[in-house]
């Protein structure tokens, strides 16, 4: 699905009129086009399904990996910084940090690919909970590991800038798959060692 920048421009122009402003005044005349370009960038992930994202970042390494005798080895990438937009208010989710852990199953993914997957998943109209499950699903597809954990913390401007206006509230979500769901010692290893 391609993002329709022309339609976005038309709708932003309509929103400006609905707000009681003049979209033809100097400060606003290029705003619809600027917003359309911004949306194309910040919602890039909407162009891809989870399977397509997995294909985009399916670069793994198999050599020198002994997962048969070292089945408790774990890969952890912490504090990947991303941002997203809440699908309920189209409000910014910011100061978002994503941490991903998985237990290799014969191959490992390039570390930068984990950050790229998190970034692409966040570039959609999202819920924080779904960001975690989408990342877990894609990491699982790429690595063939069913043992994946995703931890996310973020501020939500739908809570900090409107409504309750609680600027210190942070939301934490945890997505656990495979052995991370059933073996608490794996979670303890993540928090103790890192």
Catalytic residue at 68?
Answer: no
Question: Percent of the chain, pLDDT > 70?
Answer: 93
Q: Is the C-alpha dihedral spanning 178, 179, 184, 190 positive or negative?
A: negative
Q: Which residue has the tokens 């705003």?
A: 31
Active site residue 62: no
* Per-residue pLDDT reduced to its tens digit, 74-103: 999 999 999 999 999 999 999 999 999 999
73 Rama sector, left if φ>0, alpha if ψ -120 to 50, beta otherwise: beta
Listed in sequence order, the residues at least 6 apart from 76 whose beta carbon sits closer than 8 Å to its beta carbon are 99, 100, 101, 190, 193, 194
- Among candidate residues 52, 62, 81, 87, the one labeled active-site is 87
Question: Is 87 a residue of the active site?
Answer: yes
Q: Is 88 a catalytic residue?
A: yes
Indicate if the pLDDT at residue 73 is higher than 60: yes
Place of tokens 């794996």: 186
Summarised one tens digit per residue, pLDDT across range 142-162 is 999 999 999 999 999 999 999
Known catalytic residue at 10: no
136 contact partners, CB below 8 Å, separation of at least 6: 148, 149, 150, 175, 177
Phi first, then psi: give them for residue 155, nearest 5 degrees: -95, 145
pLDDT, average across residues 100-121: 95
Q: Which of 44, 89, 153, 181 is catalytic?
A: 89
Q: What is the pLDDT of residues 19-60, one digit of tens each?
A: 999 999 999 999 999 999 999 999 999 999 999 999 999 988
Catalytic one of 11, 40, 158, 181: 158
Check residue 1 and give its pLDDT. Answer: 67
Catalytic choice (88, 129, 181, 194): 88
pLDDT for 194 equals 45
| Statement: residue 192 has pLDDT above 80 | no
Tell me which of 9, 126, 137, 156 is the catalytic residue.
156
What value does the mean pLDDT take over residues 59-78? 74
86: annotated active-site residue: yes
SS3 label, residue 27: coil
């Amino acid at each position: 699905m391609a993002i329709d920048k022309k339609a976005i421009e038309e709708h932003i122009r309509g929103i400006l009129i609905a707000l009681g402003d003049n979209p033809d005044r100097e400060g606003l005349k290029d705003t619809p086009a600027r917003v359309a370009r911004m949306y194309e960038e910040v919602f890039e992930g909407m162009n891809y399904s989870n399977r397509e994202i997995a294909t985009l970042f399916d670069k793994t390494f198999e050599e020198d990996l002994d997962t048969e005798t070292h089945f408790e080895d774990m890969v952890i990438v912490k504090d990947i910084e991303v941002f997203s937009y809440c699908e309920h208010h189209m409000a910014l989710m910011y100061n978002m940090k994503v941490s991903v852990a998985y237990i290799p199953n014969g191959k490992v993914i390039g570390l930068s690919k984990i950050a790229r997957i998190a970034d692409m998943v966040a570039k959609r109209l999202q819920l924080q909970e779904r960001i975690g499950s989408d990342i877990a699903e894609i990491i699982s597809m790429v690595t063939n590991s069913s043992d994946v954990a995703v931890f996310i913390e973020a501020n939500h401007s739908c809570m900090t800038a409107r409504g309750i206006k609680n600027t210190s509230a942070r939301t934490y979500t945890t997505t656990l798959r495979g052995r991370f769901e059933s073996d608490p010692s794996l979670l303890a290893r993540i928090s103790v060692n890192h």
